[in-house]
Chain A
Amino acid sequence: MHRRIVKLVSLLILCMGSLLAAAGQTVAGSAGPTADQIAKLQAQVAAAQSSADNAWMLVSAALVLMMTGPGLALFYGGLVRKKNVLATMMQSFAMMAIITVLWAIVSYSLAFDSGTSFIGGLHHLFLRGVGLAPDPDYAATIPLQTFMVYQLMFAIITPALITGAFAERMKFSAMALFLILWSIVVYSPMAHMVWGKGGLLNAALGGHFPTLDFAGGTVVHVTSGVSALVCALYLGKRVGYPREAMPPHSVVLSVIGACLLWVGWFGFNAGSALSSGSLATSAFVNTHFGAAGAALSWAIAEWIRNGKPSALGAISGAVAGLVAITPAAGFVKPMSAIIIGLIAGIFCYFMVIKVKNWFGYDDSLDAFGVHGAGGTLGAVLTGIFASSAINPIFKDASGNPLPSGAVDGNWHQVLNQLVGIALAWVISIVGTLILLKIVDLTVGLRVTREHEVEGLDLTQHGEEGYDFAS
């Protein structure tokens, strides 16, 4: 970091120096630098800006990948019973490999090529045309490949989140097939609608129902969370649920995973600024404040209700806050972020301990309670708290900022948010149901009852997570 600042300053001093030297060499009569020299100077400054943006974006991409592996792998792995720890971690890890290849082949194109308002085209099949030159529609200062690989990390974690709903009972083969299809049928279209060129909900590129979703509250969390609920309902409960106690075998692993998620989320949200400037700062600060607010409110709610604040509750709260702030990160003020966090902590706590038990569905790791519900709440609150002072996303014909959310007086934005949310719910429910049916008829979704009782590590992977006797 220090070296880069020194490099940048040296570069600028060099530019100034060469400019002065050139000026000193001009014949008496011409006073300033030539147009040629100015153009060269501009190119060097642009290159410096590009360098800074690309550096941050590559780091952000790495941070987001870290959220899946090992962040989510540890978080989910710790929450399941010992006999299923490897199988659970493997589901996240497998996405890192499988979705990457799928993205390169087809799903990047479907998300980010221009096409219709619902889905992109196939021009970028096999990453054709995705080179090192920027695409100004998406990010003018970084190579398109940086943008592609950054978006890939989102495409990886989204299906991985769904695995929380069917933990401890889904066949590995069925999971892999289902999530490949889901990426194509649900994720790519949703990503296209919110972030792609010509997307129906794209607030930045003039979509018809501009939905403010800075880093993926609808694209990532609502889709994965709602799909998770559908999966939990379709697959049915685990053997012995809810009679049998199935507490986490290692909250220690889950705490480590949650902390990695928190830190990684800076890449998820602040990286969605697609640049290293002050918008990234806003998103970074909001992300952190949202997490803190929600960790506090969940822990306090638990303290009041159960008499003790649990570690599991605190980390679940933090994750809920991070989910809720995701659509809002680059649009709201820092104090709003704390409020969003405080609300999300209590709301998701309520979803997970009351609503889940009312309906009796076995969303094993609360993918719907935290991501589906938290994402929906966050998307609505974004419509309320979005401020053009932070991010002038809407502009009039002359380029003057227009009101963003309700705090600016634009209550209409809440309606637009609801359109985006509704679309996410519908595409998730319909897409997931159809795909589950297909996979069920071809491969079969659940492991046998005996295999489920014996444990997935042994039956699906031929391994044991812990062998302390050896």
Chain B
Amino acid sequence: MQKIEAVIQPSKLDAVKDALLEIGIEGMTILEARGHGRQKGHTEFYRGREYTVDLLPKIKLEMVVSDEMVEKAVQAILSSARSGKIGDGKIFISKIDEAIRIRNDERGPSAL
């Protein structure tokens, strides 16, 4: 089991969710986040002073999938979240030691 964390542009959320649903991934956690990579912020004016706002709104998706699904999920995210511009985001993958369904204590890949 592996965890996929994807930081994407907020405007791509619907497309990414649809793409993941199409390949059978329904469970995920979605967080509102702020951040930046190489993307510059924008300037705002307040009372004659110029400020750089570099904490940009992002969406972070987290999902844990079985090993066979990882590459399919990554491809789904890549194709739906990409616009070709700086600021598209990143995907990180890490190993998960255990997954447990709270309702009935089911463990392992069948709990996903």
- Residues of chain A whose beta carbon lies under 8 Å from any beta carbon of chain B: 242, 245-248, 302, 306, 308, 310, 312, 352-354, 356-357, 366
For residue B107, give the distance in angstroms from its CB to the closest CB of chain A.
31
Pairwise interchain contact A247-B48, C-beta atoms closer than 8 A: no
A310 near B45: Cβ-Cβ < 8 Å: yes
In the complex, the answer to whether A357 meets B48 with C-beta atoms within 8 Å is yes
Q: Is the CB of B46 within 8 A of A248?
A: yes
Give the distance in Å from the alpha carbon of A353 to the alpha carbon of B48 in the complex.
4
Residues of A within 8 A of B48 (CB): 352-354, 356-357
The answer to whether B47 touches A306 (Cβ under 8 A) is no
CA distance A308 to B51 in the complex (A): 15
**Number of residues from B at the complex interface, CB < 8 A:** 9
* Cβ distance A258 to chain B, nearest Cβ, rounded Å: 15
20 contacts between A and B (CB under 8 A): A242-B49, A245-B46, A245-B51, A245-B52, A245-B53, A247-B44, A247-B46, A247-B51, A306-B45, A308-B45, A310-B45, A312-B46, A352-B47, A352-B48, A353-B48, A354-B48, A356-B47, A356-B48, A357-B48, A357-B49
B51 contacts A353, CB within 8 Å? no
Chain B residues with Cβ below 8 Å from A312 are 46
Question: Within the assembled complex, what's the spacing in Å between the Cα atoms of A366 and B46?
Answer: 12
Complex CA distance for A246 and B52, rounded to whole angstroms: 11
Q: Mark B31-67, 1 if CB is under 8 A from A, else 0.
A: 0000000000000111111011100000000000000
* Cβ-closest chain B residue relative to A313: B45
How far is B44's CA from A26's CA once the two chains are assembled, in angstroms? 83
Q: How far is the CA of A248 from the CA of B45 in the complex (A)?
A: 11
Query: What residue in chain A is nearest B48 (Cβ atoms)?
Result: A353
Sample of 8 further A-B pairs with CB below 8 A, known A245-B51, A248-B46: A245-B46, A247-B51, A312-B46, A352-B47, A352-B48, A354-B48, A356-B48, A357-B49
Which residues on A sit within 8 Å (CB–CB) of B44? 247
Which residue of chain B is the closest to A310 with respect to CB atoms?
B45
Q: How far is the CA of A366 from the CA of B48 in the complex (A)?
A: 12
CB neighbours of B45 from chain A (8 A): 302, 306, 308, 310
Nearest-neighbour CB distance to chain B for A73, whole angstroms, equals 20
Neighbouring B residues of A353 by C-beta, 8 Å: 47-48
**Cα distance, A247 to B45, chains bound together (Å):** 9
Residue on B nearest A369 in the bound complex, by CB? B47
- Which 10 interchain pairs have the tightest Cβ spacing? A353-B48, A245-B51, A247-B46, A306-B45, A352-B47, A357-B48, A353-B47, A247-B44, A354-B48, A247-B51
